[in-house]
């Protein structure tokens, strides 16, 4: 940018450099993959989290909710998406297609099932500068189901001890252990 005069004094315009960066893979399975731009300027400044999610043909993005408001932009494919509304309201299920933009409020669980014959890909941007995040400007997606992975992704039940889960589900701990 440059300098410009303001009221007789010169000031430097705020410079924002956008770099073309490749997204880094943070998760991959038979059902698809998630890549994230970790070193982008917007992420470093704590403004947003940007990811590209691919759901393979006939696969399901497991139900999840996030700690931030998100916008999804469908880049390719078609899918069935479910948003689980609060307070016992029926889930909102709809078809989504290439070109659609969907807003998902913080804390609202969603799932996406690829119903097409090709990969379904979407960009997701999360507002991590929201004051409701109480100083924790990091995007987190909490999966309601799924196995724990090396990246820490997995269902919310992984946060509980085996003995607590065995008590809550009224099963013998040896029964629920697959070891």
Are the C-beta atoms of residues 146 and 60 closer than 8 Å to each other? Answer: no
Residue 165, Ramachandran bin (φ over 0: left; ψ between -120 and 50: alpha; else beta): alpha
pLDDT of residue 153: 55
Please write the tens of the pLDDT for every residue from 126-161: 887 765 555 556 777 776 666 655 555 556 665 667
Rounded distance between C-alpha atoms, residue 155 and residue 150, angstroms: 13
Q: How far is CA 33 from CA 1, 64, 69, 138, in A?
A: 37, 15, 21, 20
- pTM recorded for the entire structure: 0.69
Structural domains of the chain, with CATH = 21-144+154-173 (2.60.120.10)
CB burial of residue 90 (10 Å; 0-12, 13-18, 19+): exposed
- The 8-class DSSP code of residue 15 comes to P
Q: Which residue numbers in the chain have pLDDT < 50? A: 1-4, 6, 11-14, 176-177, 179
Please write the tens of the pLDDT for every residue from 60-70: 998 888 888 89
- The 8-class DSSP code of residue 16 comes to -
What are the phi and psi torsion angles at 124 (to 5°)?
-130, 130
């Amino acid at each position: 940018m440059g300098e410009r005069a303001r009221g007789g004094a010169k000031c430097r315009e705020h410079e924002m450099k956008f770099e073309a960066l490749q997204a880094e893979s943070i998760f991959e399975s038979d059902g698809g993959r998630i890549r994230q731009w970790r070193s982008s300027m917007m992420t470093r400044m704590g403004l947003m989290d940007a990811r590209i999610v691919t759901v393979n043909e006939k696969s399901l993005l497991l139900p999840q909710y996030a700690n931030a408001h998100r916008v999804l932009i469908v880049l390719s494919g078609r899918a069935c998406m479910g948003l689980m509304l609060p307070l016992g309201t029926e889930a909102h299920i709809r078809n989504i297609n290439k070109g659609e933009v969907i807003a998902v409020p913080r804390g609202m669980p969603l799932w996406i099932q690829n119903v097409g014959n090709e990969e379904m890909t979407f960009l997701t941007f999360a507002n991590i500068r929201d004051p409701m995040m109480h100083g924790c400007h990091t995007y987190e997606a909490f999966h309601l189901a799924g196995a724990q992975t090396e990246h820490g992704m997995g269902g919310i039940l992984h946060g509980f001890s085996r003995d607590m889960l065995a008590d809550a589900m009224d099963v013998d701990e040896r029964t629920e252990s697959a070891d």
